[in-house]
Amino acid sequence: MLGAARRQLGSGPMLGQVLRRLRPATAAAADAARAYSAAAKEMTVREALNSALDEEMSADPSVFLMGEEVGEYQGAYKISKGLLDKYGPDRVLDTPITEAGFTGIAVGAAYQGLRPVVEFMTFNFSMQAIDHIINSAAKSNYMSAGQISVPIVFRGPNGAAAGVGAQHSQCYAAWYAHVPGLKVLAPYSAEDARGLLKAAIRDPDPVVFLENELLYGESFPISAEVLDSSFALPIGKAKIEREGKDVTITAYSKMVGYALQAADILSKEGISAEVINLRSIRPLDRATINASVRKTNRLVTIEESFPQHGIGAEICMSVVEESFEYLDAPVERIAGADVPMPYAANLERMAVPQVDDIVRAAKRACYRAVPMAATA
């Protein structure tokens, strides 16, 4: 990678010096098996991300990985396992704990035609580098009248994990989806992780890639098509994980698994729920969402993040603007509690959406439950 960098950036000593210092339930699983009927094997999300990185680094010598503990330690979550041994320290770079520093270096490398993949140990730490992500990466193509492309991926775990407190539990989907010039992806399954990460690395624009720590060890059926090295998923296209006719449920990341569990419970009570895995937060697949709502006439949105100015609010507005006359019930929005994440396990559980919350919301939308206002 340093050879490529020197060809792009010159042979001065500074670049070299700086670079070198620098879980779904059984019911949801059954739904997944149905959705991947052609699957030949299973793969964890961790393995999917690792294989995507490996194949893209093998195919394109301009791709390199940098971040804290990505090399010698094999990655804080072992996403980069084996990559240092295979590609060496010039393309798998361990950095100091200086997010602003190494993110700025990566953006500069992207300006010159390299394809950096920046790993944040948690997206909460991306706040240290948010100026480079938004002002240096997201706006440069527009401000240069298209003369500067910034092919860079910012990736790492996002949202709540377990018992890590308010400062390590925040979801940044709405933060980054607010910014023109960024693409924001949030995978759920192994297919999502593999296909979307490959697409992100190949994309000419900056991509924020929001993973979930609790999904890394989850296994999903995966087909031979997905295992092909040329496979990639289209950015901006949602996936209907489960078809239904009575209510549309939208979700992303870990909440897709919860939505599938809720849909299974609802089916036993005669409610057919359609579950949409958003996959792409920006651009948002408004067409798929609205087409589903026009079929089911009801909508429940789910997200783990705070409710105000959230992804669910944007989806609700899209449906109001494009499909309002098709709605037979008020839109239901399920989100995390509007409080910093508690540390105590019992309070933490109350602060994030649960399967029962989704079931109750879908029943309200289908007029199968007493409205909350009536029980107050």
Catalytic residue among 99, 211, 218, 332: 99
Q: Is 309 labeled as catalytic in the residue annotation?
A: no
For 3-56, the pLDDT digits (tens) are 444 444 444 444 444 344 443 444 444 444 444 444 469 999 999 999 999 999
The SS3 of residue 111 is helix
Q: What is the mean pLDDT of residues 102-115?
A: 97
Q: pTM for this structure?
A: 0.87
pLDDT at res. 43: 97
Q: Is 99 labeled as catalytic in the residue annotation?
A: yes
For 320-347, the pLDDT digits (tens) are 999 999 999 999 999 999 999 999 999 9
For 139-166, the pLDDT digits (tens) are 999 999 999 999 999 999 999 888 888 8
Q: What is the mean pLDDT of residues 106-115?
A: 97
Q: Is residue 266 pLDDT above 50, yes or no?
A: yes
Do 2-227 and 239-375 agree at the fold level?
yes
Catalytic residue among 42, 168, 243, 322: 168
Burial (CB < 10 A; 0-12, 13-18, 19+), residue 141, is middle
Q: What is the mean pLDDT of residues 70-99?
A: 96
Residues pairing with 119 in the sheet: 67, 155
Sign of the dihedral through C-alpha 245, 248, 253, 256 = negative
Q: What is the mean pLDDT of the chain?
A: 90
Q: What is the mean pLDDT of residues 260-286?
A: 98
Q: What architecture (CATH level 2) is domain 2-227?
A: 3-Layer(aba) Sandwich (3.40)
Check if the beta carbon of residue 348 is closer than 8 Å to that of residue 166. Answer: no
**What one-character DSSP code corresponds to residue 135?**
I
CATH class belonging to 239-375: alpha beta
* pLDDT grade for 308, boundaries at 50, 70 and 90: very high
pLDDT at res. 317: 97
